[in-house]
């Protein structure tokens, strides 16, 4: 059973191996901002691509969209963000630290025990100025969610995609929230990425579609390797529902700091289209020509955080094992999420091995994200690849020069098979798709 890991170990692995660095680190960092390094960016891209494939490519009822971060200020008045996108803020009268009132138990400052001020509502939207003249009219907001870009394009998408309802519109992009208490590494930051779908349905079918999306989204995490016992669903209480929501469920994950939200799946009713129709003066309804009906669709919204998903995948994949008396840290990442799929490792930097090893690398890298590493001992290089979750390492040794065969080592079982170089691409392709590692064809001789 893999260990439940502390956040410190994840943060340190991420720094050490190039997943995630503190932002502007050489200047001392910037609170709650993080940069994705060479392997982190691959993991994050894989999370987004896997989501996009499941949501857009593999279905005929969802299309994609990519809207601007800055939008007309009227959007945020209509959506309710200017009035309601607030958290209650309290400040300590002694040490002046600020807290989200609902995250503090009792009336004392968690830091110094000082007296707290009465809560005041704090709007989480970042404001900036558009254009060179600093006047009220040019205030714009950085979007706190991607959803509104979808709602205001509803008419454009329905007309141009020629799709009927139910129809989903999906978007991945940056969002910004001036969180009062960011923290827990990339769990809560002020700049993050959303993966959101607005699924437009006929009123009356909304509850059925909410159930459908809850199951669909829960299963997505499980299919990508998150253990079921670390996931749960939680329905929002009536007092907790956002101003737009008719009903809402959170998919929660057992993070190192405890059960916390990974994704929210809400029934937004017809709130958004109705509001935008009212504020923009444009009619936003759907005409079903076949049924001779016209209505304002209801919306089911699965809204996930890319960064929070990255964190959950890292935490769930992390393991420490003992192999031949030595500790091995390994990320058992799902093959489709692993940043590097295959590492090419010549046994040593010997000049006889290098040309063949480079040839193998050239053969593999157009097909898979491939790493080439010939520094340090082979044992240390295996350990590095285990720590970044590389499923397969290909080793080129002196025998390879004679028989034109190489050894593939599998990350989880540590089993090794020997295959002809000409077959390597085909074998790795099959193994990445899930073919059992020891059920290889005739040419593969097992080595342990
Ligand atoms: P929370 O209650 O944790 O503040 P929320 O309910 O406000 O989150 P939503 O508006 O439902 O979050 O956004 C959907 C998803 O976006 C969340 O489930 C989470 O994965 C992600 N998310 C929201 N806020 C942040 C943040 N500040 N940093 C990183 N991810 C976030």
Nearest CA, atom 23, ligand 1: 305
Question: Residue 395: which pLDDT band, with cuts at 50, 70 and 90?
Answer: very high
- The span from the CA of 45 to the CA of 52, in Å, is 10
Pocket lining: 319 vs ligand 1, CB cutoff 6 Å: no
Burial (0-12, 13-18, 19+ Cβ within 10 Å), 375: exposed
pLDDT, residue 49, reads 98
Among the listed residues 268, 250, 246, the one whose alpha carbon sits nearest the alpha carbon of residue 308? 250
**CA–CA separation, 43 and 340 (whole Å):** 9
Cβ of 263 closer than 6 Å to ligand 1, yes or no, is yes
CA distances from 254 to 231, 289, 303, 311 (A): 7, 47, 18, 11
pLDDT, position 87 = 84
- The tens digit of pLDDT for each residue in 227-275 reads 999 999 999 999 889 888 999 999 999 999 999 999 999 999 999 999 9
Dihedral (CA of 330, 333, 337, 342) sign:
positive
Taking residues 385-393, what's their average pLDDT?
Answer: 98
Give the residue whose CA is nearest to atom 4 of ligand 1: 188
- Range with the poorest average pLDDT among 50-59, 94-103, 161-170: 94-103
Phi, psi (deg, nearest 5) at residue 294: -135, 130
179 lines ligand 1 (CB under 6 A): yes
- Tell me the pairing of strands 20-22 and 34-36: antiparallel
- pLDDT for the residue 4: 73
120 CA from centroid of ligand 1 (Å): 21
Question: Which atom of ligand 1 lies nearest, measured to the CA of 261?
Answer: 18
Q: How far is the CA of 246 from the centre of ligand 1 (A)?
A: 18
Q: What is the mean pLDDT of the segment spanning 335-355?
A: 96
Residue 136: what pLDDT?
A: 61
Ligand 1 pocket, residue 194 CB under 6 Å: yes
Q: What percent of the chain has pLDDT over 70?
A: 96
pLDDT band at 441 (very low <50, low <70, confident <90, very high): very low
- Backbone conformation region of residue 179, classed left if phi is above 0, alpha if psi is from -120 to 50, else beta: beta
Would the CB of 188 count as within 6 Å of ligand 1? yes
Probe target for ligand 1 pocket from 303, 312, 315, with the most ligand atoms within 8 Å of CB: 303
Greatest CA separation for the chain:
78
Question: Could you identify the residue written with the tokens 């444009």?
Answer: 282
Assign 134 a pLDDT band (cuts: 50, 70, 90): low
**Ligand 1 pocket residue status of 409, Cβ below 6 Å:** no
- First-to-last C-alpha distance (Å) of the chain: 23
As a whole number of angstroms, the distance between CA 289 and CA 303 comes to 31
Atom of ligand 1 nearest to the CA of 303: 14
Tokens of 335: 């093959």
Q: Does residue 405's CB lie within 6 angstroms of at least one atom of ligand 1?
A: no
Mutate to test the pocket of ligand 1, among 192, 249, 300 (most ligand atoms within 8 A of CB): 192
Kindly report, residue by residue over 117-133, the tens digit of the pLDDT: 988 888 999 999 888 77
Averaged pLDDT for residues 312-317: 98
Task: Enter the tokens of residue 292.
Answer: 């001779």
Q: Residue 135 pLDDT > 80, yes or no?
A: no
Q: Which atom of ligand 1 is nearest to the CA of 305?
A: 20
Question: Considering only CA atoms, which residue is closest to atom 9 of ligand 1?
Answer: 264
User: Does the beta carbon of 307 sit less than 6 angstroms from any atom of ligand 1?
Assistant: yes
Q: Whose CA is nearest to atom 5 of ligand 1?
A: 264
Task: List pLDDT tens digits, range 30-73.
Answer: 999 999 999 999 999 999 999 999 999 999 999 999 999 999 99
- Give me the pLDDT at residue 137, please: 60
Cβ-proximal residues to 7 (8 Å cutoff; 6+ apart), any chain: 184, 185, 255, 256, 257
139 — pLDDT class (breaks 50, 70, 90): confident
């Amino acid at each position: 059973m893999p260990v439940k890991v502390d956040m410190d170990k994840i943060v340190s692995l991420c720094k050490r191996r190039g997943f995630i660095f503190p932002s502007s680190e050489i200047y001392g960092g910037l609170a709650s901002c993080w940069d994705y390094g060479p392997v982190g960016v691959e993991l994050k891209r894989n999370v987004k691509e896997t989501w996009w494939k499941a949501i857009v490519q593999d279905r005929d009822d969802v299309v994609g969209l990519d809207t601007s971060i800055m939008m007309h200020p009227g959007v945020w008045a209509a959506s309710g963000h200017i009035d309601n996108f607030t958290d209650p803020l309290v400040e300590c009268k002694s040490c002046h630290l600020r807290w989200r009132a609902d995250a503090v138990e009792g009336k004392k400052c968690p830091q110094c025990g000082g007296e707290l001020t009465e809560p005041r509502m704090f709007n989480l939207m970042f404001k900036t100025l558009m254009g060179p003249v600093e006047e009220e009219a040019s205030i714009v907001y950085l979007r706190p969610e991607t959803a509104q870009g979808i709602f205001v394009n509803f008419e454009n998408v329905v007309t141009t995609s020629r799709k009927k309802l139910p129809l989903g519109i999906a978007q991945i992009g940056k969002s910004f929230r001036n969180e009062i208490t960011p923290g827990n590494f990339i769990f809560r930051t002020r700049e993050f990425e959303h993966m959101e779908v607005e699924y437009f349905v006929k009123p009356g079918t909304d509850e059925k579609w909410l159930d459908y999306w809850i199951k669909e989204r829960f299963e997505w995490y499980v299919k990508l390797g998150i253990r079921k016992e670390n996931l749960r669903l939680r329905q929002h209480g009536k007092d907790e529902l956002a101003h737009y929501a008719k009903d809402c469920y959170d998919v929660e994950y057992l993070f190192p700091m405890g059960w916390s939200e990974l994704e929210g799946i809400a029934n937004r009713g017809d709130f958004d289209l109705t509001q935008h129709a009212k504020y923009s003066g444009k009619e936003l309804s759907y005409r079903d020509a076949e049924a001779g009906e016209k209505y304002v669709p209801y919306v089911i919204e699965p809204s996930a955080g890319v960064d929070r998903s990255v964190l959950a995948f890292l935490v769930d994949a992390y393991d420490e094992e003992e192999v031949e008396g030595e500790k091995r840290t390994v990320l058992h990442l799902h093959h489709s999420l692993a940043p590097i799929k295959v590492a090419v490792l010549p046994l040593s930097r010997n000049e006889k091995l290098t040309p063949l090893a480079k040839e193998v690398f050239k053969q593999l890298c157009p097909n898979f994200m491939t790493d080439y590493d010939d520094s340090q001992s082979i044992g240390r290089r295996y350990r590095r690849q285990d720590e970044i979750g590389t499923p397969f390492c290909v080793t080129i040794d002196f025998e390879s020069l004679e028989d034109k065969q190489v050894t593939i080592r599998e990350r989880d079982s540590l089993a090794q098979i020997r295959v002809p170089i000409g077959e390597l691409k085909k074998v790795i392709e099959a193994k990445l798709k899930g073919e059992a590692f020891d059920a290889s064809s005739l040419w593969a001789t097992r080595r342990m």
